[in-house]
Structure 1
Amino acid sequence: MLFWIIAAALVAVIALLFALALLRGHAQDDMAPAAAYDVQVYRDQLKDLERDIERGVVSAEEGARAKLEISRRMLEADRKAQAGSDLARAPKGATMALIAAGIVLFGGAVGLYLRMGAEGYQDKPIAQRMAEANKLYDTRPSQAEAEKTAKERQLETPKVDPQYAALLERLRAAVAKNPDDPKGLELLARNEAVIGNFDAAWKAQQRLIAVKGDAATAADYAQQGELMIVAAGGLISPEAEKVLATALKKDPKNGLSLYYVGLMMAQNGRGDRAFRIWDGLLRNSEQSDPWVPLIEQNINELAWLAGENDYTPPMPRGAGPSQADIAAASDMSPEARQQMIRGMVDKLNDRLAQQGGTAEEWARLISSLRMIGELDRADAVYAEAKGKFAARPADLARIEAAHAAPAGKALEDAGAAPGAGAGPEAGLPGPSAQQMQDAASMTPEQRQQMIQGMVDGLFDRLTTEGGTPAEWARLITSLATLGETERAKEAWGEAQQALADNPDALAQVQLAAQQAGVAQ
């Protein structure tokens, strides 16, 4: 009812404005036009001029010239008045036609709304939306129903090369003869998918998993789930969901399964949950992973559904230094290593300036700039990042922790090898100049052994004597880079106890632990 009251009030106001405009136009029609008024003014000027000539105020010669000019203007004004008199009043027929058109348009709009509109449609509370999403999830078609619908919608059957079809028939016969041959089942699943026979493909993959038993990997289950989804026309059925769940049980970080679970959430009205899953997956994916471009195309819309109005998609890990880059840094001279680090820092700086990035990336840039001694640039980036993340307290805390950390907090933030200094000027509590010089003459194995010894020594000292937040952070990231995740977790636990009474210091170490993947 409120809708109709508001709509009627708006129509009444608009109609009143139109009526006033028409009445004002008729009122102006009855007034003398501006040109006619000008004619009268010029006549008065001529009379005044005659009196001035008689009194001798104006000479006869000047008066003649003025009369000529005033007469010329009066004639022009009279011409305009005569020409405008025929157009001054709008035809009554046109006015009536305008009113009739307005009535027809208004009546047509009301009729169209009553026929096609959603009269009485109410707002949906969150609880109701969730209930509808759950109903949509619970009433999904089964795998068989979805595949049947997909086949009905298929426009044409893919054509298969006769030679390829003959080879596939031989493969099918071989697998039928020896149904427990893993290699044959693997080939059959792959080739059935090639010709678009996805139903047979996922069933062959299912048989392969049964043959493998406990040896079946998360990737095996994820592949079966994907084949089932494609066979169902893109819909994720309850059966496919169970297969994906098994894959994630074996490997919670399986990217293909996480992508399809997020897609399933989006299909069933839970874009908010899809966003959380895809955002986390994007942060832990390589640039070359096949699901990355698909997520990047859709995640901004999901972010809006999840209430993230100021969301910037994170860059995949392939956009930064790889483990190979880090390993290669240990074989470089200090000068070459410093140059490599500076190049990576500049590259990160350019990308964030042009495309933006996550709070973690801004924090890494700030700490990297401080590490290589460019404190002014670090301060400028810090000021820019504060503006970008002012409305996000958690992200802002990471930015501030990176800026508050001692210069050169963590070499690994810029992709250098643990224990490998950026040079004496960086001010790191790490290897001395003499150690750096000695390392340059070592073999890679000797240098790795030296690095391991330095990390072990730092671990022993910090766990027995304690140390600064920067040292704890460097120890955790170094252990993680060396692949010693359990020791990194142990170091994080020790740091929490050692710095329990210093929240600011603990926040610095927590940032390093999060980047190393050993803390939430």
Structure 2
Amino acid sequence: MLFWIIAAGLSAIVLAALLAPLRRRDENEAPAPDVAFYKGQMSEIENEHERGLLSEEETERARTEIARRLLAADRSGRREALGRGPAWPAAALGAVVLIGGAFLVYADLGAPGLPDQPLQARLAAAQELRAARPSQQQAESRTPATPVQAPQEYLDMVAELRAAVPERPEDLTGWTLLSRHEAALGNYAAAARAQERVIALKGAAASFEDRLALIDRMVAAAGGLVSADVEERLTRLLAERDDAAGPLYYMGLLHAQTERPDLAFRYWKRAIEQGDPAAPHVALARAQIPRAAALAGVDYSLPPLPGPSAADIEAAGEMTAEDREGMIRGMVEGLASRLAETGGSAEEWARLIGALGVLGERERAAAIWAEAQQVFAGTPDLDKIRAAAREAGVEG
């Protein structure tokens, strides 16, 4: 209600500002020149009559004639004013269109039915939303499987692995491979269960990356939701390494999902500033931080990404075809190795898939595409990689 009172008051002020000049013009508007002239003549006749220069009969005759001309001049002036058109109705119509248009735009783009939201109430609502999250098990049960296309040979290999590994419960290598390949095929819940087994077998020797990989699979299995179970694991990881991009990204995602864009922005900003620009979690943070910044009312510009130097580009242009192909293969292998170890941006994944397609290594391209679908699940960046996979002939 307070909003509408303020809006109505501002509208009244605008309307008064629009109509005030017209009122001043009407008040100060001079009479028509002919009318003023005849009124002056009437005054002169009265003066001459008083001084005895005109008789009563002559004065009355002159009064009658001037009065007739004065009425004619007044009627003529009114017709001219009507011909110019009334200013008040036009101004009033313009004001109604302007103010009414503003209210219509707000009704369409704004939220007229939304009540006032004081900070304390919004914080309480965010806390309630956070507390009402489904459990990891509930979220996984609600998330449908996302099958990934892959060569039949690869599918057969994973099927064999899926059947053999449970028969060897202490086979750490088998469970590690099963977790990785289930994730590559989009079977995130199965991948998470396998990764849990990997961590259980390693015990205290389980690395930071092992536990982060489990979080990756759990979030994907929950359809992108950061559950309370995942939050507990993230808290422990951040206690070990408060500059790790992966946990920072997921904590930001948690706050974005619970209506706290201000906190999401802070976590994602730290992930971008402290993490490797080529890491997938940093790429995800870069993709989502602009919206969080806008919702939080922060003016923020992404830092530029590093790229090849001008000297590198010039040197590549001077190579022979054979040398250039060798350089490309070397770059492809280096990029593939780095993505396998530390991850990378969506552009790099797309570049690797495209390069493998050009080099004729379609099976490798298909495997990379399958893994990319797990890493970038639920993000807009996946479309960029899908386009590269389609060009390489391993998607669609």
With the length of structure 2 as denominator, give the TM-score of the two structures.
Answer: 0.52
CA distance in 2, matches of 1:286, 1:110: 48
Aligned to 1:363: none
| Offset at residue 275 of structure 1 (A) | 4.5
Aligned to 1:458: none
Q: 2:84 aligns with which of 90, 97, 112?
A: 90
| Offset at residue 217 of structure 1 (A) | 1.6
Aligned to 1:425: none
What SS is found at the alignment partner of 1:196?
A: coil
* Mapped contact 1:209–1:220 kept (Cα < 8 A): yes
Aligned to 1:240: 230
Aligned to 1:462: none
**1:286 and 2:266 equivalent?**
no
CA distance in 2, matches of 1:19, 1:253: 61
Aligned to 2:13: 13
The amino acid of 1:182's aligned partner reads L
The amino acid of 1:11's aligned partner reads S
Q: 2:115 aligns with which of 118, 121, 134?
A: 121
* Mapped contact 2:249–2:282 kept (Cα < 8 A): no
Aligned to 1:259: 249
* Mapped contact 1:137–1:268 kept (Cα < 8 A): yes
* Mapped contact 1:29–1:89 kept (Cα < 8 A): no
CA pair 176-279 structure 1, distance change in 2 beyond 3 A: same
Aligned to 2:139: 146
CA distance in 2, matches of 1:106, 1:299: 36
| Offset at residue 237 of structure 1 (A) | 1.0
| Offset at residue 225 of structure 1 (A) | 0.4
What SS is found at the alignment partner of 1:180?
A: coil
* Mapped contact 2:243–2:270 kept (Cα < 8 A): no
CA pair 101-168 structure 1, distance change in 2 beyond 3 A: same
**1:195 and 2:185 equivalent?**
yes
The amino acid of 1:217's aligned partner reads S
CA distance in 2, matches of 1:214, 1:161: 37
**1:231 and 2:221 equivalent?**
yes
| Offset at residue 88 of structure 1 (A) | 8.4
* RMSD over equivalenced CA pairs, Å: 4.5
| Offset at residue 223 of structure 1 (A) | 0.1
The amino acid of 2:133's aligned partner reads R
| Offset at residue 219 of structure 1 (A) | 1.1
CA pair 219-8 structure 1, distance change in 2 beyond 3 A: closer
* Mapped contact 2:199–2:211 kept (Cα < 8 A): yes
CA pair 230-90 structure 1, distance change in 2 beyond 3 A: farther
CA distance in 2, matches of 1:308, 1:97: 43
Aligned to 1:218: 208
Q: 2:171 aligns with which of 172, 181, 189?
A: 181
With the length of structure 1 as denominator, give the TM-score of the two structures.
Answer: 0.41
Q: Deviations over 1:103-132 (max 9, x none)?
A: 57767877997998546833513x433322
CA pair 218-122 structure 1, distance change in 2 beyond 3 A: same
CA pair 2-253 structure 1, distance change in 2 beyond 3 A: closer
* Mapped contact 1:224–1:243 kept (Cα < 8 A): no
The amino acid of 2:9's aligned partner reads A
Aligned to 1:427: none
What SS is found at the alignment partner of 2:173?
A: helix
Alignment map for 1:330-479 (pairs within 5 Å): none
CA pair 150-32 structure 1, distance change in 2 beyond 3 A: farther
Aligned to 1:407: none
CA pair 90-21 structure 1, distance change in 2 beyond 3 A: farther
Q: Deviations over 1:345-390 (max 9, x none)?
A: xxxxxxxxxxxxxxxxxxxxxxxxxxxxxxxxxxxxxxxxxxxxxx
The amino acid of 1:142's aligned partner reads S
CA distance in 2, matches of 1:23, 1:308: 45
CA distance in 2, matches of 1:315, 1:24: 58
What SS is found at the alignment partner of 2:169?
A: coil
Q: Deviations over 1:398-439 (max 9, x none)?
A: xxxxxxxxxxxxxxxxxxxxxxxxxxxxxxxxxxxxxxxxxx
Q: Deviations over 1:249-308 (max 9, x none)?
A: 565554422332233233323444444444544454334333334434555766787787
Larger CA deviation: 203-212 vs 289-298: 289-298
Give the number of the structure with larger relative contact order, counting CA–CA contacts within 8 Å between residues 6 or more apart.
Answer: 2
| Offset at residue 189 of structure 1 (A) | 1.2
Alignment map for 1:54-73 (pairs within 5 Å): none
Segments of structure 1 that go 5 or more residues without pairing to the other structure are 37-84, 320-520
Alignment map for 1:131-142 (pairs within 5 Å): 131-142=124-135
* Mapped contact 1:26–1:89 kept (Cα < 8 A): no
% identical equivalent positions: 35
Aligned to 1:433: none
Aligned to 1:206: 196
The amino acid of 1:145's aligned partner reads Q
| Offset at residue 12 of structure 1 (A) | 3.2
| Offset at residue 15 of structure 1 (A) | 3.4
The amino acid of 2:255's aligned partner reads M
CA pair 199-31 structure 1, distance change in 2 beyond 3 A: farther
What SS is found at the alignment partner of 2:84?
A: coil
